Amino acid sequence: MESAPQTPTMAAAGDVLRVADLPGRGRGLVAARNVREGEVLLSEPPVLLYPSTLSSLRSYCSACFRSLPPAATIPCVSCRAAAFCSPACAAASHPHLLCAALSHGGGAGLAAAAPTEAIQEPLLFLLSAYSLPESTMRSMLSLSSAPPPPPGAQDAAGLHAAVAALAPPHMLPQGLSPDLTAALLAKDRGNSFAIMEPYRHGMSLELLKARAYAVYPRASLFNHDCLPNACHFDYPDRPGPGNTDIVVRALHDIPEGREVCISYFAANWRYADRQRRLLEDYGFRCECDRCQVESQWKDDDDNNGDDGDDTMEEEGEDDVGDRGDDGIEEEEGDGATNGGDDDFPHAYFFVRYLCDNEGCWGMLAPLPPSPNGDLSHVFECNLCGKLRKEEDVIPDEGTSGMVH
């Protein structure tokens, strides 16, 4: 506990977390030592990386998923539908079944099989997953599965038939079966992380989409919390190797032994929407500190977040008028360290860790401490990349972080 301070470098990241069996929560990741705010907890390369839609093939390198330079892109010599950013990426190429499917009918075959983006995503996933070497496929299949989709939501049999029709028979992997396809789709739904399109100043954040999806076996062990203590970043356009690695950083100090959680979606989602998503895609009901508070809100109280900061702040005040003190303060979790906000105990969390760029709702985590251990006090948004100084979050000691 009182050991010599450790230098929080990328190299130490492997030691920061350990896998633990958590009562009532299954496997999860806990802090293997005391962690300081902003520390890199995990930096991990993907085992699978695939384009989110057919249109993203035109904008991003099919090997490294960096934005394609406007000129001098290198088309795939086999399918002519994918493009690469450099000779090295062209040599690395892209998944062979996906390439074959894109060659099918000059690329029209895949477009016809997947007319909507909702079908393109799982089809591009399957073509990429079935191109994996057998050992990687085995590690994919060892990940936890999402529950079966609601009826009509995903046609695994139809997707399986499309894969079999699009790939030349001699290229189809051994073991290809409708059951394996359904099993892989459940891994995708339960474990894929989005790698986002680059944010450009002034663009509508609602239009911000995934450029690719990626599977990271260790990062997929993070459990969800609606008041997470860590969040993940991607930096796909940064130069050098590892541009598609997921990077997870601590929002605040985390004591040794405490579970480290991320939020599986934007933290401003309403209670009912969070519960629905977690149940459908991950098969559990969330009973975190925040959900315990918000489960007691009346339905019409539960509309914070969608309409911007103002709504959220008013919501906290409305609660005072509507109900007075109904004991919510007792539920206060460690995300709320300030006093005086008994009816919206997590306001401090939102003010400090949610991006205030209009419509963004990304999560802010401090930049990593310097090599000599100095905290950065600069927060970075994991969606739009905005940097915000700590003193701009909480103007002075007198305000408790609650905005009125």
Binding site for Zn ion (CB under 5 A): 61, 63-64, 76, 78-79, 82, 85, 89, 99, 226, 286, 288, 291, 355, 357, 360, 362, 381, 383-384, 386
Q: Residue 359 Cβ, how far from Zn ion at the closest point, in Å?
A: 9
Q: Which is nearer to Zn ion, 33 or 386 (CB)?
A: 386
Distance of closest approach, residue 80 Cβ to Zn ion, in angstroms = 7
43 vs 131, beta carbon nearer Zn ion: 131
By beta-carbon proximity to Zn ion, the closer residue of 89 and 365 is 89
Whether the CB-CB separation of 56 and 49 falls below 8 Å is answered with no
Q: How far apart are CA 245 and CA 40, in angstroms?
A: 12
Q: Are 249 and 39 in contact (CB under 8 A)?
A: yes
Q: What letter represents residue 109's amino acid? A: G
Q: Rounded to an integer, what is the distance from CA 102 to the centroid of its chain?
A: 28
Cβ nearer to Zn ion, comparing 40 with 384? 384
Contact (CB, 8 A) for 278 and 323: no
Nearest approach in angstroms of CB 142 to Zn ion is: 27
Dist CA 339 CA 16 (whole Å): 31
Rounded CA gap, 263 and 225, in Å?
Answer: 5
- Minimum distance, C-beta of residue 378 to Zn ion, in the bound complex (Å): 14
| Residue 41 or 83 with smaller CB distance to Zn ion | 83
Return the number of the residue (86 or 400) whose C-beta is nearest Zn ion: 86
Give whole-number Cα distances, 107 to 72, 115, 145, in Å.
22, 12, 31
Provide the minimum distance between the beta carbon of 92 and Zn ion in the complex, in angstroms, as a whole number.
Answer: 8
Cβ nearer to Zn ion, comparing 76 with 113:
76
As measured in angstroms, the least distance from the Cβ of 5 to Zn ion is 31
CB of 56 to Zn ion, least distance (A): 13
First and final CA of the chain: distance in angstroms?
Answer: 39
Residue 30's SS3 state is strand
Alpha carbon distances (Å) from 236 to 144, 198, 212, 384: 26, 8, 10, 13
